[in-house]
Structure 1
Amino acid sequence: MEARVIKVGTRQSQLALTQTGQVIRQLEELCKEHQLPYSFEIHKIVTKGDRILDVTLSKVGGKGLFVKEIEQALLNSDIDLAIHSMKDMPYELPEGLAIGAVPKRLTPQDCLVLKDGYSFEDLPQGAKVGTSSLRRSSQLKYARPDLDIQWIRGNIDSRIRKLETEGFDAIVLAAAGLARMGWEHKISTLLPADVCVPAVGQGALGVQCRSSDKSVMELLALLNDHDSEVTVAAERSFLGTLQGGCQVPIGAHATIVERVDSKEVLELTGIVGSPDGATLLKSVQQGTDPVQLGIEVARQLLDDGARDILAKIEG
């Protein structure tokens, strides 16, 4: 087999480059194990979401704020594969592109980095809490209407620094991002799932490529983690059925609860909230078909009132 340099596209944030390096190391190990003559080089790409830092993501609007430019580079053959945070990926992929692998997922939970204290309950009345996510703010307001939720953008490190410089009592982040950076010690507490359901695909990476690139597709199949793939598929099916973007507080978390005759039984929790935190709709269902399960949980929430919430936000 002829030697090939595989060009890997990524955002240029510290977290994106760190997780890209981790995936490349896994691919290099697989190439060594299977005697595949591939090497890898990183190509940094700036996305619209990286350029706009002075407003909340929900106000920027649109889907794929952190992936569109990278996907275009794939379509143009400027790169051969791309490593995304799965929670950044819209449900619908451009024609000709595929998710070739979902590597083993880290914890999907949100976490608090606290100025003082060790738990969500330790937050004082009226505590100032920073987040860039409508999903997080909606659920936190629902659980604690007294909290002063303020938007905060920037990379992980700069957001944590704002605990001191801008007087926040807590910052909400994805625990997986801190873990990938080797900063688990900065996590004060994980937010319980009954307080904050994670974003669709949170904690998982998606490795994207051209569906016509058979050699890369075959390589990525070796990297794929089946359990992570099916749980993320259920969550993404839920998102796709709701047709939600970052303007809508939507969360979903799927787990494998048992295996029956080599089939996984999945449990999917889905939520849709109002941006002000006054309303939070939740549905929990089980099934063996991840795509169908996502559809059924979404339909249940639409029937329960999510249709009105979505219409009001998008109208």
Structure 2
Amino acid sequence: AFQVVNFRGNVQTRLRKLKEGDVHATLLALAGLKRLGMPETATSVLSVDEMLPAVAQGAIGITCRSNDDKMMEYLSSLNHEDTRLAVACEREFLSVLDGNCRTPIAAYAYRDKDGNCSFRGLLASPDGSIVYETSRSGTYSLDDMVAIGQDAGHELKSKAGPGFFDGLQ
């Protein structure tokens, strides 16, 4: 039988525990394995269709003083607009669900082949026994994508009902 267990530690610790037989498998970010010079450790790469990523997975956020015009101008040149809009959509979804680093919530927004926003979101119980999913599409603009994230979040919040995450540590 397949059993999901809490499995914490840095990459090396997790791989050691895997080798020692504490668990039969683990999920690790390929980007992290590449950064550590260990890409060959990956035996399989999951597609977004197989497993939705965490909200804003892979995006980098930078903050600076709001009155530092020179830095703002420099940082704006680093901005990738499609990613900024996708992250806004996903984070709005997370916000409506009151999500945090311990809640099993996933979302993925992207520009599809027609140039529109395609969004998928997921909310699961901590043990994974209950899963709610939704999808949306719309124009690839900030206002519409924020609305997509809000609407999707409200749908799953309604489906899950009050107290869905009660007892989550």
TM over 0.5: yes
After superposition, the C-alpha distances for 1:56-93 in whole angstroms (9 at most, x for unaligned) are xxxxxxxxxxxxxxxxxxxxxxxxxxxxxxxxxxxxxx
Bigger Rg, structure 1 or 2: 1
Match of 2:161 among 307, 310, 313: 307
Whole-Å separation in 1 of the counterparts to 2:47 and 2:130 = 19
Q: How does 1:177-256 map to 2 (within 5 A)?
A: 177-256=32-111
**Which residue type is aligned with residue 106 of structure 2?**
G
Structure 1 equivalent of residue 130 of structure 2: 279
Does residue 148 in structure 1 map to residue 148 in structure 2? no
**Which residue type is aligned with residue 231 of structure 1?**
A
**Which residue type is aligned with residue 74 of structure 2?**
L
**Which residue type is aligned with residue 168 of structure 1?**
V
Note closer, same or farther for the CA distance 1:160–1:285 as it changes in structure 2 (3 Å cut): same
- Alpha-carbon contact 1:163-1:171 (below 8 Å) kept: yes
* Percent identity between the two aligned chains: 36
After superposition, the C-alpha distances for 1:168-225 in whole angstroms (9 at most, x for unaligned) are 2211112222233343222111224344211001122212222222222111111111
Q: How does 1:53-202 map to 2 (within 5 A)?
A: 146-202=1-57
After superposition, the C-alpha distances for 1:252-301 in whole angstroms (9 at most, x for unaligned) are 11121145xxxx41111111111122210000111222211111111121
Structure 2 equivalent of residue 268 of structure 1: 119
Note closer, same or farther for the CA distance 1:180–1:226 as it changes in structure 2 (3 Å cut): farther
Whole-Å separation in 1 of the counterparts to 2:157 and 2:96 = 10
Q: How does 1:35-50 map to 2 (within 5 A)?
A: none
Give unpaired runs (5+ residues) of structure 2.
Answer: none
Structure 2 equivalent of residue 29 of structure 1: none
TM (norm. structure 2) is 0.85
- Alpha-carbon contact 2:4-2:127 (below 8 Å) kept: no
Note closer, same or farther for the CA distance 1:181–1:211 as it changes in structure 2 (3 Å cut): farther
TM (norm. structure 1) is 0.48
Match of 1:292 among 139, 147, 150: 147
SS at 2:161 equivalent: helix
- Alpha-carbon contact 1:247-1:313 (below 8 Å) kept: no
Q: Please, which moves more after superposition, 203-212 or 294-303?
A: 203-212
Q: How much has 1:313 moved relative to structure 2?
A: 4.5
After superposition, the C-alpha distances for 1:110-164 in whole angstroms (9 at most, x for unaligned) are xxxxxxxxxxxxxxxxxxxxxxxxxxxxxxxxxxxx3232222222222222211
Whole-Å separation in 1 of the counterparts to 2:161 and 2:66 = 34
**Which residue type is aligned with residue 276 of structure 1?**
D
